[in-house]
Amino acid sequence: MAKLYFRHGTMDSAKTMNLLAVAHNYRQQGKRVALLKPRLDDRFGGRVIASRSGLKKEVDLLLEDDTTLDPAFFAELDCALVDEAQFLSTGVIEQLRAVTRTCNVPVICYGLRTDFRTRLFPGAQRLLELADSIEEIKVTCQFCNRKAIFNMRLIDGQPTADGEQIQLGANESYAPACHVCYVERLPGVIEGHAGG
């Protein structure tokens, strides 16, 4: 049976570049791969998956919270690659899990694990619960040389814990941070939200 993979990393860890490289490798071998992403991710255009490195490809399927996946879409595929999986609903994640069984197609999901307040995204939580393989894509903290584990939201270059959970942005809006640098710049956020 095919597997469900969750490859997670902070902002700026080259998740999308990794996804596009995997897609390229499958296609170079003459294999069929589909690219999927949530419709709400329109930073680089509605039907495009793009890396800040300049790589980009057109999306084969846009996903909504209430999308019902058609097994026929996956029937002839060798692999499905999903970008920004943290934004998917738990129902869509569960359907992707089912695709690995019913269609015998591996599904590789890329995304963030937690938001800027260090809380799991619902899609990421369900992936952590259901995935056969969980892999971290690592990057160093923007402020030191330790491994980044958190996504720090920035407004006018200053760290903040304010705002909605989902706010699309790139380097101007987020920075990868280690625990020490996160706590130094946003004291009390982790401890202050311990109970939810």
| Run of H or E including 176 | strand 174-177
Per DSSP, the three-state class of 139 is: coil
Looking at the fold, whether 13 and 63 belong to one and the same domain comes out as: yes
Buried b (16+ CB within 10 A) or exposed e, 146-184: eebbbbbbbeeeebeeeeeeeeeeeeebbbbbbeebbee
Q: Is 79 annotated as a binding residue?
A: no
- Total domains in the chain come to 2
Q: What is the CATH number of the domain that holds 77?
A: 3.40.50.300
Q: Which residues are catalytic?
A: 84
Q: Is 167 annotated as a binding residue?
A: yes
- What residue numbers bound the domain in which 187 lies? 150-192
Looking at the fold, whether 42 and 112 belong to one and the same domain comes out as: yes
Q: Is 83 annotated as a binding residue?
A: yes
Going residue by residue through the chain, which has 196 residues, state the pLDDT in tens, using 9 for 90 and above.
899 999 999 998 999 999 999 999 999 999 999 999 999 876 667 788 877 777 778 999 999 999 999 999 999 999 999 999 999 999 999 999 999 999 999 999 999 999 999 999 999 999 999 999 999 999 999 999 999 999 998 888 888 887 776 665 555 688 999 999 999 999 877 775 443 4
The answer to whether 153 and 167 are in contact (CB under 8 A) is: yes
pTM (two decimals): 0.90
